[in-house]
Amino acid sequence: MSGKMKIRTGWRTATLQDLVFFQRGYDITKAEQKPGDIPVVSSSGINSYHSEYKVDGPGVVVGRKGSLGTVHYVDGPYWPHDTTLWSKDLKGNNARFVYYFLRTMNFERYNVGNANPTLNRNHIHGLEILIPDLVIQNKIASMLSTYDDLVENNQRRIELLEQAARLLYREWFVHLRFPPGHEHVRIVDGVPEGWEKKPLSEVADIIMGQSPKSIYYNEEGNGLPFHQGVTNFGIRFPSHQTYCTVINRLAEPGDILFSVRAPVGRINITPDKIVIGRGIAAIRSNCGQQNFLFYALKSHFFKEDMMGGGAIFAAITKKDLHRVEILQATDRIAEMFIEHTRAIDLQIENLQQAIDDLTQARDLLLPRLMNGEIAV
């Protein structure tokens, strides 16, 4: 921190450990976790739940290994994983302010690992920073939380809308309770007359991803967005963090992104042209029924890591994916479903755009609030 920096009233020079003191997390394997509602927070965020907790919330967790420098906020009790550093002592500071402040720290610069990125708390506790008093902290946290609350509300609305569309799909195509006028279709071998089960390869074009060398990756926006796996998947659309200058295997806007490695079967839709790595397949309906295909796959892979038959896979091959059976309705019924869900999909797209706008506004505001450039 430069000694020439002008310090605003209510701010003081300090070190990071005056803001928060970190402790290394606790190891626990998936096999050791018991059913419960306590979040297990790893370097990539909440990926599982357990019946016991190690720490009372609120708390802030930073990625120590793997996804180095990621920052996560937890309201209630939680289990900080061994791949993280957790806020053992917030030193009387506002927990949400600490969370937002740490997001501006660029901890990736302090990587001490070789093959696996690693963050050492002893190397960051002494970093010089500016800290505002608690009154200012509360105002900043409240301001930024307003953006996050709106984002979270829109995300919940997206989840409810998608759930409604998925329930409609199950009603029509799993329970076979059709819309009015189609109730008396004859069922032959468990399938309505005129319908048939087809392998995915017959109803869609499938592109398996292939990963270029990492020297072609960047986070400066050079090339096209690159997705290796599900790290940046959202409820429906992925966010872009990594870019690639080698234009190899591509997914086009509107393509279904399907995870072929654990967690197998997680699904998103890309709004942009992107490069896909080996953990992703891009799927596109070859008969103009992309919406119908999306919900069919969502229904088929109703639980991540499960194929339709219930077997759990760490990965599925190209052959496995091509052979996945999709129930293909008559064009008339499929088009009726698409028409019913078109309004839902449009609402989801609009809500996602609102989320993107709010996130961009918050991220522009964040560093300016944290360095005292904007008075509150």
pLDDT in tens, 93-114: 999 999 999 999 988 888 876 6
**pTM for this structure?**
0.84
The whole-number pLDDT of residue 167 equals 95
The whole-number pLDDT of residue 186 equals 81
Where residue 301 falls among pLDDT bands split at 50, 70, 90?
Answer: confident
Radius of gyration of the chain (CA): 24
For the cut 60, the answer to whether the pLDDT of residue 5 exceeds it is: no
- Sequence ranges of the domains in the chain: 11-130, 133-180+330-376, 196-328
For the cut 60, the answer to whether the pLDDT of residue 307 exceeds it is: no
For the cut 90, the answer to whether the pLDDT of residue 336 exceeds it is: yes
Compute how many other C-beta atoms are within 10 angstroms of the C-beta atom of residue 319.
Answer: 8
Residues in the chain: 376
For the cut 50, the answer to whether the pLDDT of residue 327 exceeds it is: yes
Lowest mean pLDDT among 1-10, 98-107, 344-353: 1-10
Based on the number of CB atoms within 10 Å of its own CB, is 236 exposed (0-12), middle (13-18) or buried (19 or more)?
buried
The whole-number pLDDT of residue 185 equals 77
The whole-number pLDDT of residue 320 equals 92
Q: For the residues 255-282, what does the mean pLDDT come to?
A: 94
Residues 6+ apart with CB under 8 A from 29: none
The whole-number pLDDT of residue 3 equals 47
Where residue 313 falls among pLDDT bands split at 50, 70, 90?
Answer: low
For the cut 80, the answer to whether the pLDDT of residue 314 exceeds it is: no
Question: Which CATH superfamily, name and number, covers 11-130?
Answer: DNA methylase specificity domains (3.90.220.20)
For the cut 90, the answer to whether the pLDDT of residue 376 exceeds it is: no
Residue closest to 203 by CA, chosen among 249, 247, 256 = 256
Residues 6+ apart with CB under 8 A from 180: none
Where residue 315 falls among pLDDT bands split at 50, 70, 90?
Answer: confident
The whole-number pLDDT of residue 375 equals 85
Residues 6+ apart with CB under 8 A from 196: 327, 328
Where residue 134 falls among pLDDT bands split at 50, 70, 90?
Answer: very high
The whole-number pLDDT of residue 4 equals 52
Where residue 192 falls among pLDDT bands split at 50, 70, 90?
Answer: confident
> Which ranges of 174-286 does DSSP label H, i.e. alpha helix?
200-203
The whole-number pLDDT of residue 68 equals 83
Where residue 342 falls among pLDDT bands split at 50, 70, 90?
Answer: very high
Q: Residues 60, 75: contact at Cβ < 8 Å?
A: no
For the cut 90, the answer to whether the pLDDT of residue 290 exceeds it is: yes
d(C-alpha 140, C-alpha 100), whole Å: 9
Same fold, 133-180+330-376 and 196-328: no
> How much is the mean pLDDT over the chain?
91
The whole-number pLDDT of residue 310 equals 45
Compute how many other C-beta atoms are within 10 angstroms of the C-beta atom of residue 242.
Answer: 17
Question: Which CATH superfamily, name and number, covers 196-328?
Answer: DNA methylase specificity domains (3.90.220.20)
Where residue 308 falls among pLDDT bands split at 50, 70, 90?
Answer: very low
Q: For the residues 127-136, what does the mean pLDDT come to?
A: 96
d(C-alpha 39, C-alpha 28), whole Å: 12
Lowest mean pLDDT among 169-173, 221-225, 306-310: 306-310
242 phi-psi bin (left φ>0, alpha ψ -120 to 50, beta other): beta
Q: For the residues 119-147, what does the mean pLDDT come to?
A: 96
Tokens representing residue 33 in the block: 């976790």
Q: In this structure, what DSSP letter does residue 163 have? A: H
CATH for the stretch 133-180+330-376: 1.10.287
Q: In this structure, what DSSP letter does residue 124 have? A: T
For the cut 90, the answer to whether the pLDDT of residue 305 exceeds it is: no
Q: Is 125 helix (H, G, I), strand (E, B) or coil?
A: coil
Q: Residues 168, 161: contact at Cβ < 8 Å?
A: no
Q: Is 25 helix (H, G, I), strand (E, B) or coil?
A: coil
The whole-number pLDDT of residue 111 equals 83
d(C-alpha 366, C-alpha 99), whole Å: 11
The whole-number pLDDT of residue 303 equals 58
Q: For the residues 219-234, what does the mean pLDDT come to?
A: 92
The whole-number pLDDT of residue 6 equals 66
Compute how many other C-beta atoms are within 10 angstroms of the C-beta atom of residue 220.
Answer: 6
